[in-house]
Amino acid sequence: RDRAVMFIRRDDTWLPLLEPIADARLESVAVAADRVVATGYRTTGGVTLPIAVVTDSDGNGFIHRLPVDDVSGRSHAVAVTSSGAVLAVGEIGELPGDDAFGTATDGAIWELLVGDELAEDRWTTRDRDALRTDGLQEFWAIAEFDGAVYSLGKKAVGERRPPAAWQVDLSETSEP
């Protein structure tokens, strides 16, 4: 069984930030101002959902389920842009459960909306309709070049799954 854990180093000792998260996998971590953000996914009851763990340096934190409506999803990467936006990328399956992955997934981008306090943080989806395509689409990384933000991944082109990049529009926020 997978178990996700985040640690912080204090006085030459590594300490867990939160209790281990059962049946979870954290795949990426980023530091944004006073937040440490890790993203991944958790499988419970046969359904895989994208999650984010957001903590402060004192070990206070929350486990967030990223918005995916009534289907499955996974997050593979998180990054902080030069403007300070915290973005996570992954994919959303078109069906609930693990059968949703592999043939018909849509790439997904989520943004952390930072509150005044840690408990007020929330996630929203970005550009969902603009990014939707037929067939497989997965986002595995996020990168910034010359002020433009891109999601990097792959998409189905016939029987092939070549690499692809999508530019992320940070000018508007999509509310959940």
Band (pLDDT 50/70/90 cuts) for residue 159 is confident
Spatial distance between the Cα atoms of 88 and 90, rounded to a whole number of angstroms? 7
Residue 176: the pLDDT is: 41
pTM, whole model, 2 decimals? Answer: 0.84
Q: Which alpha helices (H) appear in the chain, and where do they start and end?
A: 128-131
Q: What is the residue-averaged pLDDT of the chain?
A: 81
Question: Which amino acid makes up residue 100?
Answer: A
Q: Could you read off the pLDDT of 17-53 as tens digits, one per residue?
A: 667 788 888 899 999 888 889 999 988 887 888 999 8
Residue 102 has pLDDT above 90, yes or no: no
CB 21 within 8 A of CB 42: yes
CB 112 within 8 A of CB 121: yes
Q: Which DSSP letter does residue 157 get?
A: B
Q: Which residues pair with 107 in a beta bridge?
A: 91
Q: At a CB cut-off of 8 Å and minimum separation 6, what does 9 contact?
A: 15
Q: 164-176 burial, b for 16+ CB within 10 Å, e for fewer?
A: bebebebeeebee
Q: Could you read off the pLDDT of 72-90 as tens digits, one per residue?
A: 888 999 999 998 999 999 9
Mean pLDDT of 106-124: 90
Higher pLDDT, 7 or 38: 38
